[in-house]
Structure 1
Amino acid sequence: MIQSLDLDLKAIAVSGVVAGAAFVAVLEADLRLTGRNVDDLIILGRPFVKNPAHARLAGGAIHAINSIALAGLYATVEGRFPGPAWLKGVAFANIENLILYPVTFFEDKHPALRDGQVDRYFTWPAFWQSVPRHIAYGAVMAALYDRLRKTNPTTR
């Protein structure tokens, strides 16, 4: 039997968007600090635009949607993680990263890699570069979701 989920959609949307912005802030910092151009916004957007210059903009929109969707998934499973909200979020986001990162094995098919717009993703340095991004996303998303959900009397 399927249990009804009592999800706070506003908390999911707000926490997802804000955490997505935190992810992008860390992405911008690590691109400058490392000199490795593993830009997730370009990776997300490039397959959907003809002009490579528009890839980041398209990727930003896709990233925002993904951020909300991931917050929604977190909201459905967060009760299965022990610990404070921020730690549950960090664990959740990095589990997601570990599950999806092997897809980068197929990077040679990606137009942004083929035309040199971004550096290779299927490397250890690129993987480790993604970890702080996911830490930021997870901590912000879960802490904010928890706080917003607790302030909404209809969900708790």
Structure 2
Amino acid sequence: MFLSLPDTQTGDRDKESTWSLRPAGGQEAGRLRSRIVMWLTRAGLADLADDLTLIASELAANALVYGGGLARAEVRLAASAKTRPCVRLEITDLGQGFDRDAVVRSWNESDGTLDRCHGRGLFIVAELSQRWGVRRDREEHTVWAELG
């Protein structure tokens, strides 16, 4: 299951981009990573590309597998005059979501969670990002991560 990304962008090109994600075959996951790299390069933050593309791959795969098959990716740039710009990636789907605290607790227990074939994606997201979390809105579930 991969991502199909139409050529649509919303918002200020240099500050925000949104792409729709759909199950499909082919090279669509690579297209998402390529778009993120181009976006970061335009913003002068190409040094974040490796980490952000890995985070995007993990979150998008989770959204498509566990979140009902349709999702949306949003990347935003938040800048402050006193600090380096922060990039926020949000992947939103229609799934039920999960308890972030329970996931984090499972990493600290010696139950072999990190030794399993599945279940390490959010650990990778947590390790690579400065902050990450989840948000449940009325009909949507969003997992977000920030780098900067």
Would you call these one fold, judging by a TM-score over 0.5? no
TM-score in terms of structure 2 length: 0.28
Larger helix share, 1 or 2: 1
Bigger radius of gyration = 1
**Greater RCO, 1 or 2 (C-alpha within 8 Å, sep 6+):** 1
Larger strand share, 1 or 2: 2
TM-score in terms of structure 1 length: 0.27
